[in-house]
Amino acid sequence: MIHNKSRTYAELMDQRDSLNGYRNLFNYPKNNTGDPLIYFCGNSLGLQPKAAFSQIKKEFSVWSNKGVLGQDSRWIPYHERMTKTSAKLVGAKETEVVVMNALTVNIHLLLISFYQPSKKRHKVIMEKDAFPSDQYAIKSQVELHGYDPKNSIIEISPRDKEKIIREKDIISSIIENRDELALIYIGGVNYYTGQVFNMEKISKVAKENNITIGFNLAHAAGNIPLSLHDWEVDFSSWCTYKYLCGGPGSPAGTFIHENHHDWKGPRLTGWWGHNKKSRFEMPSSFDPIPTSEAWQISNAPIMGMAPLIVAMDMFDKVGMDNIREKSIQLTSYLQYLIECFLPSVKIITPDSRGCQLSIIVPNGRKIFNFLNQNDVVCDWRNPDVIRVAPHPLFNTYVEVYEFIQIMKKAIEQET
């Protein structure tokens, strides 16, 4: 992709951008003088859709005017309003997805079912330095079954002096350990490096070797196109407050392949997973809904779901193909400008990526602080990475250009 390093080029790209108008649908943070910040932190918390407030206000009005009567008329099927949009987002059938709980809660609920170790096959493959919640969840589940994490968890690392994990090393590790593996559990996009793993190929190898495969899609959902059903992924979950802009702590999405809907194995059960036709008859025995909804524990958090409905409708209208197309252009432009203006900056994110570029800068912490003090919002990850994630729905090419000029000034100041 050919770019130009002038500001005029950035302005022209914004004019030509078919998604440019969506920025106006978000509340954009401002500094103390009322000027917009450069917000490149949608990989941590997406911005608030302007319509979110009115959606929450609507639910408060129903609560105020109807009390419990709002339940029958509106709230019992509330989560179902996101079924179609969630299915399209991750490439699933509508019966395979449900929005519920928080991400790590869902991970534990899924692992209770899908991590079933035996004396021979008890090991789990995951990437080294996965997001801490994944590490904690897998370790605690291994211990729950009476195994030692040191013996049962295989962490795949980058090679010496490298920052990303080679696909070849993932596949070879699966093959080498296939007779002892009970589960492969990987983040679809590594939170630290921004590396997108080849989920289709990993899933294919897992299926060929009769190994359960699950993905944490916290940094993938709303960032890259997914085809979970066709890839025959067994299970996954994702948060909705990052790229999907559902708001702080918004409920997480969950996928369980239809191959498992006639589930006879272990599962933690709750009232909301019971057959909808007889749920309110208050039976003592559990009759599961024959879909992914059977893994629900409790009724929907209405106020937490209200903003997410607005955001998911927006993603559905734009479509992941269009979002992905701009993402590629915007992030490649960011890479181009780094290479043009910032020769001391090292990009560790490979070409297989989403919105995020993870960069290493000399005097990185000081540079990061300078960015914050000059109205740039990105984030720092120890020991040495600044994560920058221009979001296709609310960031612009001019912002990318301005970010580079601010960072250039910061580096010049520190050298």
For tokens 């010496």, name the residue. Answer: 160
Structure tokens at 276: 């909808």
Q: Do the beta carbons of residue 253 and residue 86 sit within 8 Å? A: yes
266-294 in b/e form (b: 16+ CB < 10 A) is ebeebebbbeeeebeeeeeeeebbebbbb
Extract the residue ranges of the chain whose pLDDT is less than 70.
Answer: 1, 415
- Cβ-contact 250, 231 below 8 angstroms: no
CA 295, CA 105: separation in Å to the nearest integer?
Answer: 11
Supply 205's token pair. 């190898």
> What confidence score (pLDDT) does residue 2 get?
78
The answer to whether 363 and 413 have CB atoms below 8 angstroms apart is: no
* pLDDT reported for residue 415: 67
What pLDDT, on the 0 to 100 scale, is given for residue 1?
Answer: 67
Query: CA triplet 88, 94, 100: central angle to 5 degrees?
Result: 95
- For the segment 1-25, what is each residue's pLDDT rounded down to a tens digit? 678 899 999 999 999 999 999 999 9
The confidence score (pLDDT) of residue 70 equals 86
Domains of the chain from N-terminus onward:
7-36+320-414 (3.90.1150.10), 56-317 (3.40.640.10)
| pLDDT for res 134 | 96
| 225 touches 354 (CB < 8 A) | no
How far is residue 150's CA from residue 130's CA, in Å, rounded to a whole number? Answer: 16
Which amino acid appears at position 91 of this protein?
G
Phi, psi of 99 (to 5 degrees): -100, 125
The three-state (H, E, C) secondary structure of 23-63, written as one string: HHHEECCECCCCCECEECECCCCCCEECHHHHHHHHHHHHH
pTM of the model: 0.96
